[in-house]
Amino acid sequence: MLYLDHYDGSISKSMKQVLVTLNSLYSKSYKLVGDHTERDRFLGNLLDVLIVSKQHSKAKAAFHAITLFTNKTLVTPSELVDLYKSWPADYFCNMKPYISRFSAEGQLFLGFMDWISLNDIAPTAGLLVSALLEKGFSPSKTSDGVASSTIPWWTLPVLQSVQDHPQDLPKYRMHLFPALFASESATYRGFLTLLGLEQQLGLQGSNVEHGEEVDLLPETRAALLFTALQVGKENGLIQEIGQCSSLPTR
C-alpha cells in the first residue's frame, strides 16, 4: 500500500506508471500461481479506503487504481462484488441501517456514489462507475426488488443516493448520469416512468410500483426527472424514444 501511503492527492505520470506496473505484476503472478491472492489484498485495501474508512486523502488514488484494473480486465465487476461480499460482518457495523436492504451490487454502487458530492473526487468516481458499467456491472439476480427487465437495476441505489445528496444533482448530471443513461432506451425509459414522466405528460399512470421504497421529496423527484431528461436529450435517447410508439398506458 505504499502507493496510497505516499499519495499527495494528485495523479502524476509516475503514479500512473506504478499502477500499470502493478497491473502487469499481478497478471504475471496469476499466471504463475493460479490465484489472485495478492491482487485481492490490494483491491481490498482500496475498497476499505472508499467504502469503510472513507479516507478522503487517498480516495482519488483508490478510484484511479480500481478503474485502471477494471479497464485492463485484471478484475471484473463481479469479482469486485464478490470481494466486497467476502468481508467480515464487523466491516459493516457502521453502515447506515437502510443500506442493508440493497443487494451487494447496490451497496457497492452506493458507496462509490457517495463520493460524487465532493468536487475533487467526483470526476474519478464517475470514471470508475463508467468503467464498471462498460464491463458489465450488473447484479447476478434481479436487483433490489426491481423485477422488470425494463427498469435499470441501478434505479434504487441512484434514488437513494440522490435523496442523500439532493443539492448535488449538477454533479450527478456531469459525472454519473451520462454513463448510466448510455444504455438502451428501454431501461432509460423505465427510469423516467418511475420518476413520473407519464403523469407529467398527462398520460394514464403506470402500474409500475418498484422504486417507491425510496421516498423522494416531490421537489427532488421533479428535479431528478428534469435532469434525466436533459441528459437523455444530450445523449440522443429522447430522440430514440420519440421514434418509438408513445409511452405505454396500462
Residue 175 CA to residue 173 CA, distance in Å, equals 6
Within a domain: 247: yes
Q: What is the pLDDT of residue 127?
A: 93
The mean pLDDT value of the chain amounts to 80
Within a domain: 207: yes
φ, ψ of residue 181 to 5 degrees: the values are: -90, 10
Residue pLDDT, tens place only, 64-123? 999 999 998 899 999 999 999 998 877 777 777 778 888 889 999 999 999 998 999 999
Residue pLDDT, tens place only, 38-47? 899 999 999 9
R_g of the chain, CA atoms, integer Å: 19
Q: What is the pLDDT of residue 214?
A: 66
Within a domain: 222: yes
Within a domain: 174: yes
Residue 72 CA to residue 83 CA, distance in Å, equals 18
Within a domain: 185: yes
Within a domain: 135: no
Residue pLDDT, tens place only, 174-203? 999 988 887 667 788 888 888 888 777 766
More confident residue, 4 or 86: 86
84 alpha carbon, distance to own chain's centre:
14
Within a domain: 63: no
Find the domain containing 165 and state its range. Answer: 142-250
Question: Does residue 4 have a pLDDT over 60?
Answer: no
CA distance readout (Å), 243 to 157, 180, 220, 237? 29, 21, 29, 10
Within a domain: 181: yes
Residue 237 CA to residue 183 CA, distance in Å, equals 9
Reading the block at residue 60, the C-alpha cell is 482519488
Question: Does residue 233 have a pLDDT over 50?
Answer: yes
Q: What is the pLDDT of residue 184?
A: 65
Mean pLDDT on 139-144? 48
Q: Among all chains, which residue has been given the C-alpha cell 418498484?
A: 210
Cα-Cα-Cα-Cα dihedral sign, residues 139, 141, 145, 147: positive
Domain tally for the chain? 1
Task: Record the pTM.
Answer: 0.80
